[in-house]
Chains A and B, each alone.
Chain A
């Protein structure tokens, strides 16, 4: 405790010291600024709020003029999204009307009664969403695993022409998708990979690899090399050091990278549109084509988009601190 008498204040502190010397004018400016930001944020979110709202509207509410702000929420959009329907025969409608008078109807019956359509089966959307999950999920796993190996090698070993190779890897992401699609289309048809899951998985893996290598290299660079050196001295092999030392420390970086790869593969439209037609078609092009069939069912489209948005929004919130690296291919440190 003797240190305190040498370095501490010479007199005991009796009155409080102001550390927040902010003039009233500056404070007012601060508040105004905060209010302006909140208003701007709300303005920017209007389309997303509208989308959320539309997903829960009935068909009549969607097309009402002027748009209804307050309405009775319904799950009609979601039912339309997931089912295939046909015009119901009049007898069925009558039966439903009678049933409605006597007692409660199930959700599907109520939708059938309101729209005059009968549910005949599950819609394509379910299959498309499954495709999206398989393709986006597996391609993310491959991209992160391969990217992790490459990033480790680039980060820890002297590789001939390292800078050029890293630039080559980054430049592949700068190509317009359309430039490579034409030859890829021909290549895929020759190899029989057109409209296959494996073709799309490999394609998205490759397109995520550049991002994955760059991001992960940045994260691995920040892990002190001394840990591994110590482990090597203690008799670990390189691979053991990689698994037991580097991997656990890079786990947040891996998570952030995986999420960015997933978002890209999840949202991708151009390749999916040109290189798939049915079996391997993912959700984004199918949401776009839902416009065509039997009038525009906006609530179904909204429901489809909303289901598509929620995972991304959660992820953005959880990983807001890594966002910058993700959008700049890891070129910028935070």
Chain B
């Protein structure tokens, strides 16, 4: 069989006109296959991006019948000099730091725990992964019920019998005394609950890729398990862990659904993350399209900057 096909391949290679025709049709296939996708992506992503860049330099409201008026950098200047906006950015930064930090620690520990197979470990791992597959807004609603000060399970399981002396997490109060940031940490806890499995999944795949002989060699050299952990396990999963952290950081700056489902930014503006505020400015009652576009661009710039720093750091770490 091999001899005959090879002869045929050679024959086909020598038949110039035929081959040329096939190359042409290949190009047609490539165009036919790729362009619909690219056109859709350009129309729905690239064009809106350019359009909102333009809008960010204008005074415009999507529901008013006035055309956009060019105002230069005024929208950006307004946002950057608004102390309230800085507060929202700071809230988002804290939220990102706490959620991503905890997800990294917990996800890593969970992955180390479930790495070794035991009976039923496949099922248990799958069950642990369910939270990240849920709709964030449904998760938000659910935790709202969990956190309810009188009939929620959260206080009940923590042993607070009497609602009067118990924390009301989403209202940011403990026994009716306001506790700063309690609502934010309550939302952060849900984010951690939901996305720790994601970090675990990535780290787990890194752990499974470590060849056994590294540990065997270390054991022969009588290296302590502490040493093995720091010198073999941690460096091996580092690239995947960094990807997980990068993805989660980007998502934390985009956080919207969860907060909307749970607090809608309240109480006051304690959980007003930047994406929630953007929605408020762009749609809810205010309809400040121009200013909201500028804010959207600022968020985009922050995300790109963070991703770039991360990627640079990862590349540098890989070179070392």
Instruction: Contact check, B38 vs A165: say whether CB atoms are below 8 A apart.
Output: yes
Cα distance, A33 to B198, chains bound together (Å): 21
- CB under 8 Å from chain B, chain A span 260-304: 263, 266-267, 269-270, 273-274, 284-285, 287-288, 291, 298, 301-302
Instruction: Contact check, B201 vs A40: say whether CB atoms are below 8 A apart.
Output: no
Cα distance, A38 to B122, chains bound together (Å): 11
CB distance from B19 to the nearest CB of A (A): 11
Cα distance, A285 to B261, chains bound together (Å): 9
- CB under 8 Å from chain B, chain A span 65-94: 65-67
**Residues on A with beta carbons closer than 8 Å to the beta carbon of B250:** 174
Cα distance, A203 to B44, chains bound together (Å): 7
CB of A251 within 8 A of chain B?
no
CB of B110 within 8 A of chain A?
yes
Selected interface stretch from B73-81, B134-142, B230-238: B134-142
Instruction: Contact check, B254 vs A177: say whether CB atoms are below 8 A apart.
Output: yes
Known A176-B303, A210-B41; contact A274-B130, beta-carbon cutoff 8 A: no
Known A183-B52, A230-B5; contact A37-B257, beta-carbon cutoff 8 A: no
**Residues on A with beta carbons closer than 8 Å to the beta carbon of B119:** 34
CB of B124 within 8 A of chain A?
yes
Cα distance, A146 to B34, chains bound together (Å): 8
Selected interface stretch from A5-13, A96-104, A149-157: A149-157
Instruction: Contact check, B275 vs A176: say whether CB atoms are below 8 A apart.
Output: yes
Cα distance, A206 to B42, chains bound together (Å): 9
Q: Name which of B9, B32, B128, B296 has the most chain A CB atoms within 10 A of its CB.
A: B296
Known A159-B30, A178-B282, A284-B135; contact A298-B260, beta-carbon cutoff 8 A: no
Instruction: Contact check, A183 vs B55: say whether CB atoms are below 8 A apart.
Output: yes
Task: Specify which of A169, A267, A309 is in contact with B37 (CB 8 Å cutoff).
Answer: A169
**Residues on A with beta carbons closer than 8 Å to the beta carbon of B283:** 185, 274
CB distance from A220 to the nearest CB of B (A): 12
CB of B14 within 8 A of chain A?
no
Interface of B is mostly: helix
Residue of B nearest to A315 (CB): B133
Instruction: Contact check, A146 vs B5: say whether CB atoms are below 8 A apart.
Output: no
Instruction: Contact check, A47 vs B193: say whether CB atoms are below 8 A apart.
Output: yes
CB of B8 within 8 A of chain A?
yes
Instruction: Contact check, B300 vs A37: say whether CB atoms are below 8 A apart.
Output: no
- CB under 8 Å from chain A, chain B span 128-168: 128-143, 145-146, 150-153, 156-157, 161, 163
CB of B179 within 8 A of chain A?
no
Known A178-B254, A179-B300; contact A308-B135, beta-carbon cutoff 8 A: yes
Offer 24 A-B interface pairs, CB within 8 angstroms, sorted by A. A33-B118, A44-B128, A47-B131, A51-B145, A63-B151, A64-B151, A146-B37, A149-B34, A153-B34, A168-B41, A172-B45, A174-B303, A176-B275, A176-B299, A178-B254, A178-B282, A182-B55, A186-B55, A187-B47, A205-B40, A206-B43, A269-B261, A270-B279, A305-B142
Other A-B pairs beyond A150-B33, A229-B9, A324-B201, 11, CB < 8 Å: A50-B142, A149-B36, A176-B296, A176-B300, A183-B293, A202-B40, A298-B145, A309-B138, A316-B133, A328-B202, A328-B247
Top 9 nearest A-B pairs (CB, nearest first) are A183-B48, A267-B135, A153-B33, A149-B33, A34-B118, A206-B44, A183-B51, A150-B37, A179-B296
Which of B's residues lie within 8 Å of A, judged by CB? 5, 8-9, 12, 22, 25-26, 29-30, 32-34, 36-38, 40-41, 43-49, 51-52, 55, 62, 110, 113-114, 116, 118-143, 145-146, 150-153, 156-157, 161, 163, 193, 197-198, 201-202, 205, 240, 243, 247, 250, 253-254, 256-257, 260-261, 275, 278-279, 282-283, 289, 292-293, 296-297, 299-300, 303, 307
Which of A's residues lie within 8 Å of B, judged by CB? 30-31, 33-34, 36-38, 40-41, 44-48, 50-51, 54, 62-67, 146-147, 149-150, 152-154, 157, 159, 165, 168-169, 172, 174-187, 189, 202-203, 205-207, 209-210, 213, 229-230, 233, 238-239, 263, 266-267, 269-270, 273-274, 284-285, 287-288, 291, 298, 301-302, 305, 308-309, 312-313, 315-317, 320, 323-324, 327-328, 331-332, 334
